[in-house]
Amino acid sequence: MEQPTTVTITGAGGQIGYALLFRIAAGEMLGPDRPVRLRLLEIPQGLTAAEGAALELQDCAFPLLDGVEITDDPVTGFDGANIAMLVGARPRGPGMERADLLAANAGIFGPQGAAIAAAAASDVRVVVVGNPANTNALIAAASAQGVPADRFSALTRLDHNRAVGQLAEMLDARADEIERMVIWGNHSATQFADVSSAAFRDVPVIDALAERLGGATEAVAWLDDTFLPRVAKRGAEIIEVRGSSSVASAANAALEHVRDEQRGTPWTSAAVVSRGEYGVPEGLVCSFPVTSDGSGYRVLEGIDLDERGRALFDRSVAELVSERDTVRALGVL
Ligand code: NAX
């Protein structure tokens, strides 16, 4: 058995935290050979909910669970962390402008980035789930002096999985028969869910859709009018139908993001710090097609985007630039 891996989860007393903790402790994220030590980082108001979850974790008697600690101090929370999952964030309140939201979250992710730099293990990897996830990750990375920027990522795996789910339903397929889906850009309504590289049983998805829907024109119309808006607005659809935001699917996506980064994957989508790939300004945390050999996500380069796809991607990148500029104007970066 390996040494325990320390996993810090912020906002662990919240809904996604509750859906995530038990699956991590059961070994679903890091595998059956890696014991885990859980650190639950909350704000004072969230501590009792985290304590309740910790009692239940104890009652599960998970063989891989090497301990649970709860704190509201970021430096204690990230002490020795190998993996940090930043879930807790400030939600948009009534009448709150986007700049206010970015500023409020900068007040969370700046200090957390600094605490990661001060206390986390030298191999720490960080994923930001709390929204606005891409720009929160940018702020955390910029505040974590001495920690390489490529250790930071943000979650777009839920968007990726939502897109795969929609395609699987339309093609009467299992999700694992859909390969090479790509989410480009921001985790927001401007994201671009791109099927142009995707395949279904080794047939281009676009051809499989044309066969299913009776022609290429019908396939393109379905993609533009139904698929793209549905994936981009799926969060709102879940709230409307369920009466509450996505929780289990978000926790599942966060778990798969870390699992694939740590254990390897040939292809998925994740928001990572741009090094200029696909012309995206350096330093932005942008969703790309990525691969991992177990040592971190790397952008898959050389994927063709047609003119229309490029325009959609550029629109989302422009939003990321504007978020970054807003945060810069606040003096955070
Ligand atoms: P909850 O409101 O249920 O839980 C958030 C928890 O974070 C609370 O317990 C709160 O006390 C804690 N918290 C707040 N500030 C904190 C801080 N500074 N340090 C530590 N903990 C802090 O929200 P939940 O449904 O769990 O969602 C969490 C976040 O995920 C939200 O920002 C949400 O917008 C975001 N999402 C991101 C998704 C993605 O794909 N990137 C999808 C799902 C979700 O919408």
Spans of all domains in the chain: 5-154, 157-325
**pLDDT at res. 180:** 98
Q: How far apart are CA 161 and CA 157, in angstroms?
A: 6
Q: How far apart are CA 15 and CA 248, in angstroms?
A: 9
The order of strands in the sheet holding 65-71 is 65-71, 36-41, 5-10, 83-86, 125-128, 152-154, 265-273, 285-292, 297-299
Q: Look at residue 41 and give its three-state secondary structure.
A: strand
The answer to whether 187 is a known catalytic residue is: yes
Q: How far apart are CA 318 and CA 324, in angstroms?
A: 10
Is the pLDDT at 78 greater than 80? The verdict is yes
Question: pLDDT averaged over the chain?
Answer: 97
- C-alpha distances out from residue 257 to 15, 64, 103, Å: 18, 20, 27
Q: Look at residue 194 and give its three-state secondary structure.
A: strand
pLDDT tens digits along 273-332? 999 999 999 999 999 999 999 999 999 999 999 999 999 999 999 999 999 999 999 888
Q: 90 C-alpha to center of ligand 1: Å?
A: 7
Cross-strand partners of 204:
199
In ligand 1, the atom with minimum distance to the C-alpha of 18 is 26
What value does the mean pLDDT take over residues 140-166?
98
Q: Does domain 5-154 have CATH number 3.40.50.720?
A: yes
Q: What CATH fold (topology level) applies to the domain 157-325?
A: L-2-Hydroxyisocaproate Dehydrogenase; Chain A, domain 2 (3.90.110)
99 pLDDT tier (thresholds 50, 70, 90):
confident
- CATH topology match: 5-154 vs 157-325: no
94 pLDDT tier (thresholds 50, 70, 90):
confident
**Pair 90, 104: CB distance under 8 Å:** yes
Whether ligand 1 lies within 6 angstroms of the CB of 16 is answered as yes
Whether ligand 1 lies within 6 angstroms of the CB of 15 is answered as yes
Give the percent of the chain with pLDDT over 90: 95
